[in-house]
Amino acid sequence: MTGTLPPPERGREIPPPRAVVERIVALALAEDLGRGDVTTEACVPPGVRGEAHVVARQPLVLAGLGVLREVYRQVDPEVEVHDRARDGDALERGQPVAHLHGRAASILAGERVALNFVQHLSGIATTARRFVEALPPGSRTRITDTRKTTPGLRPLERYAVRCGGAHNHREDLSSAVLIKDNHIAAAGGVRAAIERARRHAPHTSRIECEVEDLEQLREALDAGAEVVLLDNFDDEMLPEAIALARGRALVEVSGGVTLARVPIIAAAGADVISAGALTLGAPAVDLGLDWIGP
């Protein structure tokens, strides 16, 4: 375990369980569609059918096609959705994502919710892909997300991160032990926190500890931390810190991680780079629904 992490072998990602996607889409539709689309009811005669393409309006990495499909399943199961791409694909501007066919009223009613999801999730996948591609060739460093996700959307955003080629950090507070600055303050120091954690934490979880300087790092390693998180270490301090930890613990680097710093941190030997920017700061990408006609 104290060796580095083996390189990932990535492929198509498994989406969140169906029930999770259903619940999130139901909330979003309740919020946007309410009890009906008065514009469509008012100006589109019942019975009119239509066809439309969902299209990338900029280069992007796709994520969320299954969510779009679920939106239309809930709005009107008779709208046919035909995929024209797959999650994880890198698309050019103008490339089609999906083809829709069915009642015009239904296609229009679901348009905004479907696009909001795909734009948001593909924005995360696109950002994640950029971070992964910023790693030096052959690098064994992992890029991961953090818990800085949009409230309510975490399972989808974590999936989008994987579609971009990055990894997920722990799921939630009940999944794994990660001792942060405020835990250390409340527990009375690095050593006290780690030792207490080793006694009480589930034996299935590694003990990870965040440290802010070399002194804390040494204390954490001595106390038996299995993963150390170097928080806000600058580029100069990283090599010494990582050398200190090598062979004793996995090293995660976090805090102020930008695209530009990724190759530097990776070159310094970090096992894991975690970046809140993968989710909380990821700009949505542009997709549109082009009406083809009845």
Does the footprint of a copy of itself cover residue 205 (CB under 8 A)?
yes
For residue 81 the two structure tokens come to 């959705």
Minimum CB separation of residue 171 from a copy of itself in Å reads: 5
Q: Which of 188, 183, 185, 186 is nearest to 207 (CA)?
A: 183
Query: Which residues have C-beta within 8 Å of that of residue 195, sequence separation ≥ 6?
Result: 223, 224
Does the footprint of a copy of itself cover residue 35 (CB under 8 A)?
yes
For residue 196 the two structure tokens come to 């207490």
Does the footprint of a copy of itself cover residue 89 (CB under 8 A)?
no
The active-site residue, picked from 148, 170, 196, 248, is: 148
In the complex with a copy of itself, the residue whose CB is nearer, 137 or 151, is 151
Contact pick of 32, 83, 212, 213 for a copy of itself (by CB under 8 A): 32
| 276 three-state secondary structure | helix
Does the footprint of a copy of itself cover residue 98 (CB under 8 A)?
no
For residue 5 the two structure tokens come to 């992490």
| 212 three-state secondary structure | coil
Minimum CB separation of residue 285 from a copy of itself in Å reads: 10
In the complex with a copy of itself, the residue whose CB is nearer, 76 or 95, is 76
Does the footprint of a copy of itself cover residue 42 (CB under 8 A)?
yes
Does the footprint of a copy of itself cover residue 43 (CB under 8 A)?
yes
Contact pick of 250, 266, 268, 273 for a copy of itself (by CB under 8 A): 250
Contact pick of 158, 233, 245, 265 for a copy of itself (by CB under 8 A): 158
The active-site residue, picked from 10, 73, 84, 112, is: 112
Check if the beta carbon of residue 58 is closer than 8 Å to that of residue 285: yes
Contact pick of 65, 132, 160, 193 for a copy of itself (by CB under 8 A): 193
Assess whether 180 carries a catalytic annotation. yes
Minimum CB separation of residue 45 from a copy of itself in Å reads: 7
What Cα–Cα distance (Å) separates residue 90 from each residue in 13, 49, 66, 174?
15, 31, 16, 34
Q: What is the chain's alpha carbon radius of gyration, rounded to the nearest angstrom? A: 23
Assess whether 148 carries a catalytic annotation. yes
The active-site residue, picked from 89, 111, 208, 210, is: 210
Minimum CB separation of residue 92 from a copy of itself in Å reads: 20
Contact pick of 137, 138, 247, 294 for a copy of itself (by CB under 8 A): 294
Contact pick of 69, 129, 167, 261 for a copy of itself (by CB under 8 A): 167
100-121: b (≥16 Cβ within 10 Å) or e: bebbbbbbbbbbebbbbbbbbb
d(CA 169, CA 172): 9
Q: Which helix (H) or strand (E) holds 80?
A: strand 80-83
**113-152 positions binding a copy of itself, by CB under 8 A:** 113, 116-117, 119-120, 142, 144, 147-152
Contact pick of 96, 224, 255, 263 for a copy of itself (by CB under 8 A): 224
Active site residues: 112, 148, 180, 210, 231
